[in-house]
Structure 1
Amino acid sequence: MFSHAQHKQKFVSLHRYFGLTIALFLVVSGLTGSILAYYHELDEWLNPDLFFTEQKGSNFLQEDYLYRAAQGYTESHGGTLNTMSLEFVSGRSLRLYVNGSEEFNRLFINPYTAEVMGARQWGDLSDSWRNIAGFIYKLHYTLWLPGTWGVLLLGIIALIWTVDCFIAVATTLPIMKRFSWKLFRQRWKQSFKMRWKSKGYTFHFLLHRSAGLWLWALLLIFAWSSVAFNLRDVYKPVTYAVFQAPPETPSTGHTLTPLPFQEALSMARAHAESIASEYKVSLGHERSFRYLKAKNTFQYRFHSSRDVDDAIARSVIYIDAATGEFLDVYWPTGQYSGTTVTQWLYALHMAEVFGRPYQLLVCLLGLMVTYFSYSGVKIWWRKRQKARTKRRA
């Protein structure tokens, strides 16, 4: 609420300049984000030979055998493989992440035969046009700029967007000489209304304002979660100043030889069962098993009842790579409030919760973000032309 028009005008000016600064970037992010709501479906549709196997059932080969087969293939092409996927699903391949190879960074292996089904340089259209889903994904969060410049730039844009969410609300508040809660509600209520029969500039102005208010909470979630993805040095201190921060990931402090893969995995599973019983948590499907060389630990990821959705697996256990000793557990929710908030932001941003209806909502929201950028520029241009005409007169 403002007592004078000039006070409100300051926020209008800020919203205008912030909006114009980020408009083009939000058009790209909005359009690509709308498509990425269906990223997995698109990628699988374009690459069925990589994702689906002829065999079906649960007679998968043992994990260490598959890991050694994939590791051997990776090393023969100059790469390294530190993470083994444990997402065994009937009729589907295992997708592995590769580092160091100039030929590919994704490897697909048949869990029934240990045969390599294919490899690709994720997102590289010169490698194959069927990488279009990955190309769009990388465009969404890096603009395909070299190094970390794209991530940093879009992180700054996301931060401006977050601040502008609050400024935008301020521009819709009524001007009142004396405050009255009843009158305030009556006047502010007008900002939420849309006159669908209006045309031209009026139509875009009213829709820009009313839709922005109705979708405000979601827009803020996507703006701040974008900061979490791209500008963690800002996100973490701000979030953890309000919510409880998780401790640093554990490290053994030694360089002893790691345990054999299958033995370490069996110990991690045993620890998970024990910890789940202690915390009264039910376990679900597994996600991955990873060797962290810098900390000389194994990271075991799996789904639990502490995850925000049945399809997500972000519960984590760390064990000593040399002894198999349990080091720590990180639950996605219900342990550290900062982690809970972050996991929900990730899941909401990536349309990983609430099934198909929310996935469609995220797709439509991306289109609305694009529209807000377009209509904002259109509103500014109309006001600019009007001001020029007034000066000439």
Structure 2
Amino acid sequence: MFSHARQKQRFVTLHRYLGLTAALFLIITGITGALLAYYHELDEWLNPTLFFTPQTASQQGDNYLPASELYHAAQQYSARYGGNISTVALDFSPGKSLRYYVSGSEQFNRVFINPYTAEVMGSRTWGDLSQGIGNLPGFIYKLHYTLWLPDRWGVLLLGIIALLWTLDCFIAIATTLPVSKQPSLRQFFSRWQQSFKMRWHSRGFSFHFLLHRAAGLWLWALLFIFAWSSVAFNLRDVYKPVTNTLFSAAPAAPVTGHQLPPMNIDQALNAARQARGAAIQQQAQQQPEQPIHSGRERSLRYIASANTFQYRFHSSRDVDADIARSVVYIDAHNGELLASYWPSGQYSATTVTQWLYALHMAEVFGWPYQLLVCLLGLMVAYFSYSGVKIWWHKRRKRR
């Protein structure tokens, strides 16, 4: 509560100029974010020949070829065009292709393999509209977090905007607080609740002003989560120190310290699966009241600089039922378990970060939350539009 209107006006002015600075960017990211709530559905709908095999789930079930054979097929195809693949895809799903990420090729950066036959189903440069409308979801995705600006300038710019948005979440709250020279808690809540009310019969400027203020309060918690998670995605140098100060941070990924030759794919995959079991047993001894159950695999990646294999899989510690973010690291030469990282219940900083990611990307709570995220993106765009409209109306009145 403010004792003088002048005190409140300082926050109103600051909110106005922060909002005007971020308005255009938030309109773009709000609209694109609304579409990205259904990114996977759009991508599969536009690219059925890339994502769905001729063999249906009922015809083939899980009769997949070995992961190493599929990896080598993708690697050989990519090598013809100067590409390289460092990650073995393991996220098998009946009736669907396997997707591999390619580096070094000027022709494409994704290749899709039929897991039943090892045939190449197609390739693409993700987000490149010149290759067809099928890349539209990727184009929108990249526009959402980089504005398609080169050399990470877009990532940095939107990270700064996200930081201003996070700050403005608290300033916006202050602009809704009442002014009273004789403050009391009861009077404060009595007067502040007026800011939460919307008069739907109002028109013109009044309608936009009241909805801007009331809906901003209704959705404040979600708006803050999306603002701060945007900082986590685009401005890690700010997000990590803050989060690691407030919460316990996970140690850095391990390094072997030697350059002994790595195992082949089949050996590494067997070693990684054994290491997964060992890691689960270790956690069971440390936290017997919270047993871990493992699920489907995601990927096996060779990290040459550390001479390790990174093995990703789904576990009961993942915050989402489908996205696999549990990780173990093994020595690439002998398969020794070096470290395990769980998305939740191990390091509080990791738990917070994983929840922010999952909430931002609509990976939790099923279709109702997915729809909510879509609508929230549209509301973010509306808040920016209405904020500019309110400023312009007041500016014209002062003339």
Tell me whether the two structures share a fold, i.e. TM-score over 0.5.
yes
1:333 paired with 2:337, answer no
Counterpart AA for 1:385: R
Q: Aligned AA for 2:71? A: Y
- Taking structure 1 as the reference length, the TM-score comes to 0.98
Q: In the alignment, does 2:61 pair up with 1:61?
A: no
State the AA in 1 paired with 2:367: R
Matches of 1:285 and 1:323, distance apart in 2:
24
Q: In the aligned structure 2, how far is the partner of 1:174 from the partner of 1:335?
A: 43
TM-score scaled by structure 2? 0.96
- How far apart, CA to CA, are the structure 1 residues paired with 2:296 and 2:182? 59
How far does residue 278 in structure 1 lie from its aligned partner after superposition? 3.2
* Alignment map for 1:1-393 (pairs within 5 Å): 1-55=1-55, 56-279=60-283, 280-388=291-399
Q: Is the 8 A contact 2:229 2:360 kept in 1?
A: yes
1:384 partner amino acid = R
How far apart, in 1, do the equivalents of 2:174 and 2:108 lie? Answer: 49
Matched AA of 2:231: V
Deviation at 1:178, TM superposition (A): 2.2
Letter in 1 for 2:11: F
Asked if the contact 2:279/2:328 (under 8 Å) is kept, the reply is no
What is the rounded CA distance, in whole Å, between the counterparts of 1:119 and 1:290 in structure 2? 20
Deviation at 1:54, TM superposition (A): 1.4
CA distance in 2, matches of 1:263, 1:148: 37
Bigger drift between 122-131 and 165-174 goes to 122-131
Q: CA deviation at 1:85?
A: 1.1
**Any stretches of 5+ residues in structure 2 without a counterpart?**
284-290
| Deviation >4 Å, runs of 4+ | none
- The whole-number CA distance in structure 1 between the counterparts of 2:388 and 2:295 is 48
SS at match of 2:34: helix
Give the superposition deviation at 1:97: 0.5
Structure 2 residue identity aligned to 1:326: L
Listed one character per residue, the Cα deviations across residues 154-213 of structure 1 (whole Å, up to 9, x for unaligned) are: 000000000000000000001121221110000000000000001110010000000000
Tell me the secondary structure at the aligned position of residue 129 of structure 2. Answer: coil
How big is each residue's C-alpha offset from its partner over 1:298-343, in whole Å with a ceiling of 9 and x where there is no partner? 0000000000011111000000001111000000000000000000
Q: Could you give the per-residue CA deviations for residues 260-289 of structure 1, whole angstroms, max 9, x where no partner exists?
A: 111111011011122223322000111111
1:57 positional shift? 1.1
Q: Which runs of 5+ in 1 are unaligned?
A: 389-393
Q: Secondary structure, in 3 states, of the residue corresponding to 1:319?
A: strand
User: Distance in 2 between the 1:265 and 1:215 partners?
Assistant: 45
The residue aligned with 2:287 is: none
CA contact (8 A) 2:46 2:133 kept: no
